[in-house]
Structure 1
Amino acid sequence: MLDPILIMLIGMAIVVGGIIQFKLHPVLSLLLAAIVVALLTPTASVEQFFIAKGGLEADALKQAHKSIGERIASEFGNTCAKIGILIAMAAIIGKAMLDSGAAERIIRGMLKITGEKNAPIGFILSSFFLTIPVFVDTVIFLMMPLAKAMGLRLKKNYLLLALSVIAGAVMANSYVPPSPGPLILVSAFNVPIGLLMVCGLLLGLCTITVGYFIAKYLNTKFDIPLRDSPDARLEDIKAIAEKDDSELPSLAWALLPAVFPLLTICIRSAVEAFHKSGTPLTSSAFLNQIFDIVLFFGDKNIALITGAIFALWVLARQKKTTKDKLTSFVQTALMSGGGIILITAAGGAFGGMLQQSGISVRIAELTKDYQMALIPLAFFITMIVRTAQGSATVALITASGILAGMAQNANLGFHPVYLCLAIGSGAKLIPWMNDAGFWIMCKTSNLTEQEALKTIAPMQSLMGLAGVILTMIAAWIFPMV
């Protein structure tokens, strides 16, 4: 029986070699790697994986004896279920905002506040605070078209703008509740949610500052232009950038397709995080009905569908386009989004097969008796699991499962909130082809795989490393015990 770590290394070699060396399409490389990993994984390991997830032994046995094709398709479908509608609707919103001039109007409004010189700072802060209540991929989908429009307007620094959007979003996703990962840590370590919010905000602002300077350096080192893509042709963006203000939609209409989903998702996230389910929100039946409507639209899929409808309405209103042209427009946007969905789902299938190989359990066994200080140990375990199987959430769950008991039994010289921050930092290392989020960031920004590995991966990893160093310093100076 092969060691899960060896299986992981074989899968990594197939993905990286297939894409970079043999120039295979990412979907083919990822699915091929998923097949090989599944072939090398014993049935007993798959069964144990489903039992560990809380399934009954009979159900786990049934899952383990499914064909490899069925298991890969299942993980592929699970990933599609999570991100399929989001990506498709975000593709429509992004293209509609670019073509209608809404993105250009928002850019002009932002420049009045930040000035051209500080535009990347506006992007990194916006993506950071928006990702606290909103799904990280949603923020990237909605903000990347703005980065493209700004890059064309400035005629420089596109990589800096794209990396700023990514830097802010990924750090908030690991540190600040009510993002899903931090909520898991709150439960596992019994840390007050308000305390993790404050500490996560402070650490997040520090790490995105580091990320900003890294992005500035990478922007000078790599001359990556803003490229043509089917959903965002440069000549179309340029033509819009040269328009007079009177030819663009008003700022309120321009913001509507993005702000409506963000606002409703924020409200729903806040209610789910702080309100006890099953009890009325207010004493007024009328207000409760209003809240029910808002919460309905706050579902991330419903919110993005509604945002896409608003985006198309703004486009039709601004360009006075015909129904046939609108149908053709949606078709083009969905073709672009469909490619991202396929790559992301294939990445999810590969990551799912790695998880079924027992890689997380194997790493837990290797590190359980490691006599290292708990904060760097938490970071190290999370980093290894994250790099091995791609999912930051799985890495958070694995590390919290290993360390929660140790933290409770050990005579800690610092508050457990620092362990949460160390785990959140470790979840940033190292993004590559087995991570669905990597493909989303890569494809929405129009970077090649090699460019993403040279820019997004090191920036994100260095921000995570800065996070754990700052966490250790804070635990030493302010132990809070």
Structure 2
Amino acid sequence: MIDYILLISVLTGVGALLLMILYFKIQPFMALLISSIIVGIIAGVAPMQIIATIKEGMGSTLGFVAVVVGLGSMFGAILEYSGGAEALAGFLLSKFGEKRADWALVLTGFFIAIPVFFDVAFIILVPLVYSLQRKTKKSLLLYAIPLLAGLAITHAFIPPTPGPIAVADILDADLGWVILFGFIVGIPTAMVCGPIFGKYIASKIYIEAPSESASEERKDFPPIGLILLIIASPIVLIVLNTMLNSSLSDGLGISANAKLWISFIGHPFSALIIANILAWYFLGLRRGFSKSELSKITQASLGPAGIIILLTGAGGVFKQMLIHTGTGEMLAQYFASIGLSSLMFAFVAAALVRILQGSSTVAMITAAGITSSLLIEPMGEMYKALLVIAIAAGASIMSHVNDSGFWLVSKYLGMNEKQAFKSWTVMTTILAFMGISMVGILSIFIID
């Protein structure tokens, strides 16, 4: 049964959110808070109860996200400044060879975007793409698209990147399962969007690298084994915690006390603290960085993290308002009655917000808030993890002129708008549909 007052409240709230972001250019953090208030007023929530709901939504969300995003940002900053990204790229290129450089670049992007923000990683690694194009004289897109595919997929699907961290927290999903499914969905998606699509589009559009700059090439890279160990450490600890504290560990004879300590060490807080300590010492102090330099590097990384943390908190407020008003429960019952699965709803909601306003982070958080309010029945951890990936896939779709990533990519690759649409926009759309297709296949085998 549809309550039209509640339906009008949520539609007005989402409409107001898009209007504020697109037309009035209001910062998404404040726009989400205002939209939440609009939903509450139309739904008939008492004035002071609206304020209480804002406090509850912010508080319940930020306790986890603030710590993980902050630690993840510092970890990525040290890896970036140490030259770790270039070291990994150079290693993979040397192993794969020039003929398979596109496969090396998709792997580079896939692993580097785990600790480093998408735009930062792209700017760091794009000189390698230029160098390959100058050497081979093939289209720049043959190398750029695989790199971008790897970066975009990990940025969307695999914690501790901020997007999936925020969505997982709003949906109360286990990060270990999100990481596992992120890899399972992400690897085949990266293959299709990266080397396969890259080879096709490079045969249609020829782009040359810009003129070579006189910048000095860096030589003192960290050892590749150390880079891989440090990047892998938090992921392995988080996944190990999830696996050993699930039914998969039954029969292994692990004591309850041992599981408690594994839960402690493998919790995202502890895992990322350990990763930061390793990076601080082995990539910082041992490689000649002073303690003051490391302090400045990590402090600077918290600026962008603060924006994401506040935005995620506002998304938590929007979710809480939908739950408090009963809008989520009503929509859940309606979608169930027409046979629309929560996975497909999550994908479509994220895709619509992404296409309309551009930011994948805003799309993820808005869709997570709406989807979370629909989850009125108990749901297993694996299914909730798939919901995170479904939202991430939808929020990656069709990057175009209202997305800063569109202009970043077109600027650095020297493309006009038409070329960027045919390459980057199409690649992100393939990524989204490939991602949700893989989620659909996985959901068949999950009984939750």
TM tier, smaller: 0.5 to 0.7
1:86-235 correspondence to structure 2 within 5 Å: 86-115=68-97, 116-123=101-108, 139=114, 146-155=121-130, 161-167=147-153, 207=189, 209-212=191-194, 216=198
Quick one: distance in 2 between partners of 1:297 and 1:391? 31
Pair 1:252-2:262 in alignment: no
Q: 3-state SS of the aligned residue for 1:118?
A: helix
Quick one: distance in 2 between partners of 1:198 and 1:305? 21
The residue type equivalent to 2:433 in the other structure is: L
Question: Which runs of no fewer than 5 residues in structure 1 stay unpaired?
Answer: 44-63, 128-137, 174-178, 186-196, 226-234, 405-416, 433-440
Distance 1:268 1:423, change over 3 A: closer
What corresponds to 2:9 in structure 1? 7
Distance 1:36 1:21, change over 3 A: same
Instruction: Report deviation, 1:20.
Output: 2.1
Quick one: distance in 2 between partners of 1:321 and 1:205? 35
What corresponds to 2:294 in structure 1? 326
Pair 1:84-2:96 in alignment: no
Instruction: Report deviation, 1:40.
Output: 2.1
1:25 pairs with 21, 24, 27, which one?
A: 27
Distance 1:92 1:152, change over 3 A: farther
Contact 1:102 1:253 in 2 (8 A): no
Instruction: Report deviation, 1:421.
Output: 11
1:242 pairs with 217, 233, 252, which one?
A: 217
What corresponds to 1:462 in structure 2? 433
2:313 pairs with 345, 349, 352, which one?
A: 345
Distance 1:342 1:379, change over 3 A: closer
Contact 1:265 1:303 in 2 (8 A): yes
Distance 1:265 1:423, change over 3 A: closer
Instruction: Report deviation, 1:32.
Output: 1.9
Quick one: distance in 2 between partners of 1:218 and 1:397? 41
Quick one: distance in 1 between partners of 2:157 and 2:391? 10
Instruction: Report deviation, 1:92.
Output: 1.0
Quick one: distance in 1 between partners of 2:227 and 2:379? 47
Question: Which runs of no fewer than 5 residues in structure 2 stay unpaired?
Answer: 131-139, 160-166, 174-178, 354-364, 397-402, 411-419
Q: 3-state SS of the aligned residue for 1:351?
A: helix
2:395 pairs with 425, 431, 436, which one?
A: 431
Contact 1:385 1:398 in 2 (8 A): no
Contact 1:379 1:425 in 2 (8 A): no
Distance 1:6 1:461, change over 3 A: farther
Aligned residues: 382
Quick one: distance in 2 between partners of 1:424 and 1:79? 16
Instruction: Report deviation, 1:15.
Output: 2.1
Give a deviation string over 1:212-261, Cα, whole Å, max 9, x none.
Answer: 4897589999x9x9xxxxxxxxx9xx97x8222xx222223323432221
Give a deviation string over 1:309-343, Cα, whole Å, max 9, x none.
Answer: 22222343355233333322222122232222222
Instruction: Report deviation, 1:122.
Output: 1.8
Quick one: distance in 1 between partners of 2:221 and 2:310? 34
Quick one: distance in 1 between partners of 2:190 and 2:342? 21
The residue type equivalent to 1:347 in the other structure is: G
What corresponds to 1:271 in structure 2? 244
Contact 1:164 1:215 in 2 (8 A): no
The residue type equivalent to 1:299 in the other structure is: H
Give a deviation string over 1:29-53, Cα, whole Å, max 9, x none.
Answer: 222222222222333xxxxxxxxxx
Q: 3-state SS of the aligned residue for 2:40?
A: helix
Contact 1:72 1:349 in 2 (8 A): yes
Distance 1:276 1:39, change over 3 A: farther
Quick one: distance in 1 between partners of 2:28 and 2:309? 12
Q: 3-state SS of the aligned residue for 1:356?
A: helix
Distance 1:141 1:390, change over 3 A: farther
The residue type equivalent to 2:242 in the other structure is: S
Quick one: distance in 2 between partners of 1:318 and 1:2? 63
Contact 1:95 1:145 in 2 (8 A): no
What corresponds to 1:304 in structure 2? 272
Q: 3-state SS of the aligned residue for 1:67?
A: helix
The residue type equivalent to 1:7 in the other structure is: S
Contact 1:106 1:254 in 2 (8 A): yes
Instruction: Report deviation, 1:367.
Output: 3.5
Distance 1:394 1:172, change over 3 A: farther
Contact 2:75 2:115 in 1 (8 A): no
Instruction: Report deviation, 1:184.
Output: 10
Give a deviation string over 1:101-133, Cα, whole Å, max 9, x none.
Answer: 222222222223444221344257659xxxxxx
Instruction: Report deviation, 1:205.
Output: 5.7
Distance 1:88 1:159, change over 3 A: farther
Distance 1:382 1:214, change over 3 A: farther
Instruction: Report deviation, 1:455.
Output: 7.5
Pair 1:261-2:231 in alignment: no
Contact 1:265 1:299 in 2 (8 A): yes
Quick one: distance in 2 between partners of 1:403 and 1:298? 23
Quick one: distance in 1 between partners of 2:124 and 2:108? 12
The residue type equivalent to 1:300 in the other structure is: P
Q: 3-state SS of the aligned residue for 2:239?
A: helix
Instruction: Report deviation, 1:299.
Output: 1.0
Q: 3-state SS of the aligned residue for 1:97?
A: helix
Give a deviation string over 1:2-23, Cα, whole Å, max 9, x none.
Answer: 5333222222222222222222
Give a deviation string over 1:248-307, Cα, whole Å, max 9, x none.
Answer: 222233234322212211211111123679x96169xxxx76x76554321101111221
Quick one: distance in 2 between partners of 1:270 and 1:305? 20
Quick one: distance in 2 between partners of 1:347 and 1:447? 28
Q: 3-state SS of the aligned residue for 1:348?
A: helix
- TM-score, normalized by length of structure 1? 0.60
